[in-house]
Structure 1
Amino acid sequence: MKDNRIMLTGFMGSGKTSVATALARELNYPFLDTDKYIEEREGMSVADIFAKRGEAYFRTLEHQITFDLMKNFSAVISSGGGFILTDAVYQLAASKFNLVFLDTPFEVCLSRIKNDKSRPLAATRTDEELLKLYNYRRGIYRARSDFSVDGSKKLLSDVVDEIIHKLK
């Protein structure tokens, strides 16, 4: 049953954590962030995991924690930007979660991540490379989500209200 399980997907800097936190508060559900969960489990930052163990290792961790996340009957989860890109992770997540794509324009995402050293994929790419990655992933997010919500609205409460409305 996925009625009370909600997972936000989207590009880095799209606002997933902020929206998921507010949505969880509004619904009185637990909030979980997949990147923070992995950091606590591994005892190092996502950037350090990428640097020391590589992206493939990190994607394996994402698959492993999906099982842990499913133990919560009700939860709002902020997933990492690459979380549902792996087929096995996507299939598992789609079977247990309402997948909501936070569709935020690239320019907004870029302004939020531009100088953030904690984002390994953003820190090592040019703006043009990030735009290419954004365009590639955006199609996957759309195809693999139950619905999308405009993440560029001025009020966080408007985004939360739209998600709640679409879940009904």
Structure 2
Amino acid sequence: MIIVLIGYMGSGKSSIGQKLAKVLSYDFIDLDSYIESKEDLSISDIFFNKGEIYFRKKEGQYLNEVLKDSKHTVLALGGGTPCYGYNMKNILEKDNVTSIYLKTSIPELGRRLMKEKSKRPLISHLETEEELVEFIGKHIFERTSFYTQSNKTISTDNQTTDLIVEKIVIELI
């Protein structure tokens, strides 16, 4: 089985994914890291040097590669991955794939991302938490219809990573 973690940046896909993979004795793949290794460039450099269209095309290609070639894997997607091309359709059509939306409230995302916005090119230019929350709100509005197509939804607000992993394991049984 491949477990695909979906959600907005800051929802915990990577940290939860790593712990979940360890608990299940699965491999863990962060799609952004996978893309960086295949392209030999950071995501920021791909956007800057080759543009978003190139990135989204490669993102879909590498997503399909991982879905085709992996077994017993937890895959953490980028926040926008489900929203482009046929990515969500391809995830949902695979028999051996379970998708889980890590749902996080906008205020919680604002608090989490304010601390690390310098590391995230998409939001690094935003100066106040108010601007950040407004930006997140617009994005979440655009992306929710994709995220909610997931097979399962788990709330991450006010939950420890361990508790979220436990809830996912229970959902998978």
The normalised TM-score by structure 1 is 0.90
Q: CA–CA distance in 2 between the matches of 1:87 and 1:24?
A: 27
Q: CA–CA distance in 1 between the matches of 2:138 and 2:10?
A: 15
Question: What residue is the counterpart of 2:170 in the other structure?
Answer: 165
Question: What residue is the counterpart of 2:121 in the other structure?
Answer: 120
Question: What residue is the counterpart of 1:78 in the other structure?
Answer: 76
Superposition RMSD on alpha carbons, in Å?
Answer: 1.6
Counterpart secondary structure, 2:4: strand
The alignment of Structure 1 onto Structure 2 pairs a total of residues equal to 164
Question: What residue is the counterpart of 1:149 in the other structure?
Answer: 154
Q: Of 45, 57, 60, which aligns to 1:60?
A: 57
Q: CA–CA distance in 2 between the matches of 1:15 and 1:68?
A: 23
2:100 pairs with 1:100: yes
Question: What residue is the counterpart of 2:138 in the other structure?
Answer: 132
Q: Of 10, 15, 28, which aligns to 1:31?
A: 28
Counterpart secondary structure, 2:163: helix
Q: CA–CA distance in 2 between the matches of 1:103 and 1:134?
A: 10
The normalised TM-score by structure 2 is 0.87
Indicate if the aligned counterparts of 1:30 and 1:76 stay in contact, CA closer than 8 A. yes
Whichever residue aligns with residue 148 of structure 1, its letter is T
Structure 1, unmatched stretches of 5+, are none
CA apart distance, 1:124: 4.3
- State the Cα deviation string for residues 55-97 of structure 1 (Å, max 9, x = none): 1111111111122212111100110001111241111122232
Structure 2, unmatched stretches of 5+, are none
Indicate if the aligned counterparts of 2:11 and 2:109 stay in contact, CA closer than 8 A. yes
Q: CA–CA distance in 2 between the matches of 1:130 and 1:158?
A: 25
Indicate if the aligned counterparts of 1:46 and 1:119 stay in contact, CA closer than 8 A. no
